[in-house]
Amino acid sequence: MNLFRRRLWGDRVVLIIVALATAAVVYVYQTRGGEVRLYILTGWSLMVAWLIGFSELRIGRKQLRRGRDAMFLGLAAFVGEERIDPDGERRRGWTGAAPGALAFEPHGIRWVPKRLDEGPEELSFAWSDVYTWRLVGVIPFVWRASGYLLISNYGGRENVFHIHGIRSWRHAVREAAIVGPTLVARGHSEAEPQSQPAALAWVPPPPPEPEPVPVEQPQEKEKAPAFEPVIGLECHVELATHSKMFCGCPTTFGGAPNTQVCAVCTGQPGTLPVPNRRAIEETLRIALALGSTVAPRSIFHRKNYFYPDMPKNYQVSQYDIPMASGGELAFDVEGDRRSTRIHRVHLEEDTGKTLHAGEGGRIGAAEHASIDYNRAGIPLVEIVSEADLRTPEEARAYLTEMRTLLLSLGVSNVRLEEGSLRCDANVSLRPKGATEFGVKTEIKNMNSLRSVQRAIEFEIERQTRLLERGEEILQETRHFDEESGQTIGGRSKEYSADYRYFPDPDLVPLEPSPSLLSEIRGTLPELPSRRRARFVSEFGLAPADARALVVSPGVADAFQQAVLAYGSSPQLVARWYVGELAQLANERGVEAHEVGVSPERVAELQRLVDDGKISLSMAKGDVLRRVVETGRSPGEVVAQSGLSQISDTGELGGIVEEVLEANPEIVQQVRGGKTGAINALVGDVMKRTKGQANAQVVRELLTHRLGS
Ligand code: ADP
Ligand code: MG
Ligand code: ZN
C-alpha cells in the first residue's frame, strides 16, 4: 500500500531542513560565546513537532477530491460519535474506544473499524454529502495528535468524530495496512456481498500509482490539473406503463424468467407492433418538463445488431429525428446552481437481460449465458445530456435531479438497483482552455448514484495517468466494477454506421398534435426546482433543508401535509423530516414518509412539545420510537406510558432539593460565581427523572433557589 509515502518524504525534507537550521543557530550562538539554553531547544523541538503534525493533518479537501490521495489515517482509538441536530441538540451515538481507521478516499470518508465485533460499524460519507469538514482542536505533539473531525452532512446534521491518541504515524500506517486487507477479506467472504448497501460497501482504494512522485519534481505536480474533465450522461428510463411498448405483455419487475413474453416481443415471424399510447405521452411529459422542443414529426428506426438480447435482432429506437431535443436541467452542487443542456429525448424499447454464468459473471469468463426476455420491449426513454458536466459531483447531482424530476412526473420508479434508471457516463479529458473535446470512453454498469460518481472519478484518474504518460485514450465502452471501484475495458465502441439504422416500415410516424401537447403541459406537476424555491420563499426553510426534502417527491408531499396539519412554523416540521424521520428511514432503507409516521402524527408530536407535555428529546426519542413500533398516536403513547414531561414545580421542587443536598460542592461553586456549574445540577435532576423533567423549569427553580 502506498500510504503517506509521499507525505512522509516531504516531511522528512522539512525535518532535515529544520534540524540543520537548529544546528546552525546553536552553532552560531555557541561560537559567539552564548550558552545553549533549554528553552531555545524546547522552542525549536516544538516548532518541529508542530510543523510535522500540521503538515500531516492538513488534508485539504481539494487535494483529496482529485482522487489521487486515497489514504488511511490509522487511529489508535475512536471514542464516539456525536450528532448535533439542526435544533442544536447534541446526541450521543455510540461510545467506547475502538481501534480502526478513518479512510480518506477519492469517493469520501469512511470510518473503518478494525474488527466487526469491535464497536461501531463502518460508516461512510460521500464527498458530495460532506458539506464541510475540518479538523479542529488538533494538538500535535511529536507524532501524536488528538482532536475531532466535524463532518456536517446531508440533512444539516453534524457528525463529530472524536479522534484520540493518534499514535506514531508509522504505527498508524501499519495499523491501517492491517485494517485494509481485513476488510477486503471480509468483503469477499461474505455470502451476499451484493446485499450490502452500496454506501457502506468496502471499496478497495484504487491501485497505487506506479511509483511515488518524488518531491523533487514540482513541475509534475503542476501538470496534473492541466486537464479538464468533460462529462456527458445518457440516462435510460424504463417507463412505468402497464404493458410493453409494442405488445400487451406486463412490465412488472422480478417475474420468473421468460414468463412476460409473447409472439410480438419475442420477434415471431408475421407479428406486427402496436405502439403504446401512454408510453408516447409520458415521453412527451418528460420532454416538456425538461423544456425540450418536441419534434412535429418523428419516426422509429430499426437499430440492427447481432446480439441475442433482442430476438428480432434489432431494437426499435429513434435515430435522426428524436421525439424531442434541446432543453435543460438545473441542479445544485453544494448550494451552487448549475445547469446542463439536454441534447435529445427519444423513445425506444428495452432489450432482454443476459446473465453470464460462471467466473464473476463477466462475458469473457462465462461458461454459459441465460437470457430473460421479460424486459425486452419495455418502453425506454433515453435522455442524453450535452457534455456540459465537468466534475463527478456535478454528474451525480445532475443524475439525482433527473431522478427527482422523473419521480415527480410519476413516469417511472427510477430505481438504479433494479435497472429502471440506467446511466452511461461519457468521460473525456482535454487540456485546460482547449475548446475541442478529447477522446471519450463510455462507462456502463453503475447501479447507484454513488457508483456513477466513483466510476467517473476513477475514469478521470485513469485517463489523467495515461495522458500524463503521453499515451492515447482508446474510444471504448468500459464497465464499472463495484467491488474494485475500477472501470474495465470492454468492446471498442460501435459507430452508428455499424447499426445499419433504417426506418421501421411497420410503424407510422409520430405527430403529436398541439392540443395533445398543451393537454400534457397542463398536467405537469410543480417541478422540483420550483418546489425547492417555494419551500424557501414561502415556508422560510433553509436551502439545504428544502433540497433534502424535495429529493423525494413523496417526502416533500408528506412534509407539506404535515405543515398543513400543524398550521404554523414549517421549519419546525421540516426538522422532523430531515432529522429523526430521515434517520429512521435510513436505517430501514425506506424514505422519511414511509417509516409509519403520518404527517398528522408528526404535527401532533411537535404540538405535544409546544404544549410542554413532553420535551423535544423525548418526542424524538422514546415517543417517536413507540409510535413507530406500536402504530399508536403520539398522544396515546404519552398517555399510556407515563412519558409525559414533568413541569409541575411542586413535584420538581422536591427533586431539586434532593439534588442540592447531594451536590454540596457544586452548590458552593455556583454560589461562588461559577454559574456554568448549574448545568451539572440540571443534569442530575434530568437523570433522576429519567429525562422527563422540563429542563427550563428545573433551571428556573435552581436559579431561584441558589439566588443567582
Ligand atoms: P455516442 O454516439 O457514442 O453515444 P453521442 O455523440 O451520442 O455519442 O454522445 C453521447 C453522450 O456523450 C452525450 O451525452 C454527449 O454529450 C457525450 N459526449 C460526446 N462527446 C464527448 C466527449 N468527447 N467527452 C465527454 N462526453 C462526450
Ligand atoms: Mg452512447
Ligand atoms: Zn410481448
Block residue for cell numbers 411542586: 650
Nearest Cα neighbor of 304 from 90, 135, 503, 499 is 499
Instruction: Give 416 Cα–ligand 2 centroid separation in angstroms.
Output: 18
Weakest mean pLDDT among 57-71, 438-452, 524-538, 633-647: 57-71
Q: Where in 305-420 does DSSP place strands (E)?
A: 314-317, 324-325, 328-333, 336-349, 353-357, 368-372, 379-385
Does residue 76's CB lie within 6 angstroms of at least one atom of ligand 1?
Answer: no
Instruction: Give 352 Cα–ligand 3 centroid separation in angstroms.
Output: 12
Whether the pLDDT of residue 420 is over 70: the answer is yes
Can you tell me the distance from the alpha carbon of 311 to that of 265, in angstroms, rounded to the nearest whole number? Answer: 8
Nearest Cα neighbor of 73 from 116, 111, 106, 128 is 111
**Of the ranges 71-80, 500-509, 649-658, 660-669, the best mean pLDDT one:** 500-509
Q: How confident is the model at residue 578 (pLDDT cuts 50, 70, 90)?
A: very high
Whether the pLDDT of residue 328 is over 80: the answer is yes
Cell of 108: 469520501
Pocket-testing residue among 440, 463, 474, 491, ligand 1, by greatest number of atoms within 8 A of Cβ: 440
Instruction: Give 498 Cα–ligand 2 centroid separation in angstroms.
Output: 13
Does residue 440's CB lie within 6 angstroms of at least one atom of ligand 1?
Answer: yes
Cell of 587: 436505517
Q: What is the pLDDT of residue 211?
A: 40
Which ligand 1 atom is nearest residue 386's CA?
16
Weakest mean pLDDT among 197-201, 299-303, 599-603: 197-201
Q: Regarding predicted confidence, which is higher, 74 or 338? A: 338
Give percent of the chain above pLDDT 90: 44
Q: What is the pLDDT of residue 484?
A: 86
Whether the pLDDT of residue 201 is over 80: the answer is no
Q: What is the pLDDT of residue 121?
A: 52
Q: Which ligand is nearest to the CA of 250?
A: 3
Q: What is the pLDDT of residue 196?
A: 30
Does residue 286's CB lie within 6 angstroms of at least one atom of ligand 1?
Answer: no
Q: Which ligand is nearest to the CA of 260?
A: 3
Around 600, how many Cα atoms within 13 Å sit in the side-chain half-sphere? Answer: 3
Q: What is the pLDDT of residue 146?
A: 41
Which ligand 1 atom is nearest residue 387's CA?
16
Weakest mean pLDDT among 265-274, 521-530, 610-619: 610-619
User: In sequence order, what are the residues at sequence separation of 6 or more whose Cβ sits closer than 8 angstroms to the Cβ of residue 140?
Assistant: 49, 50, 52, 53, 54, 57
Question: Bridge partners of 315?
Answer: 303
Q: Regarding predicted confidence, which is higher, 123 or 550? A: 550
Pocket-testing residue among 318, 348, 426, 495, ligand 1, by greatest number of atoms within 8 A of Cβ: 426
CB atoms within 10 A of CB 161: 21
Whether the pLDDT of residue 340 is over 60: the answer is yes
pLDDT digits (tens, 9 = 90+) for 3-55: 233 344 555 566 677 778 877 877 787 777 766 666 666 676 666 555 544 33
Block residue for cell numbers 405488445: 247
Instruction: Give 307 Cα–ligand 3 centroid separation in angstroms.
Output: 19
Q: How confident is the model at residue 125 (pLDDT cuts 50, 70, 90)?
A: low
pLDDT digits (tens, 9 = 90+) for 626-680: 999 999 999 998 888 776 677 777 788 888 999 999 998 888 888 888 878 888 8
Can you tell me the distance from the alpha carbon of 419 to that of 400, in angstroms, rounded to the nearest whole number? Answer: 15
Task: Share the mean pLDDT of the chain.
Answer: 77
Instruction: Give 357 Cα–ligand 3 centroid separation in angstroms.
Output: 26
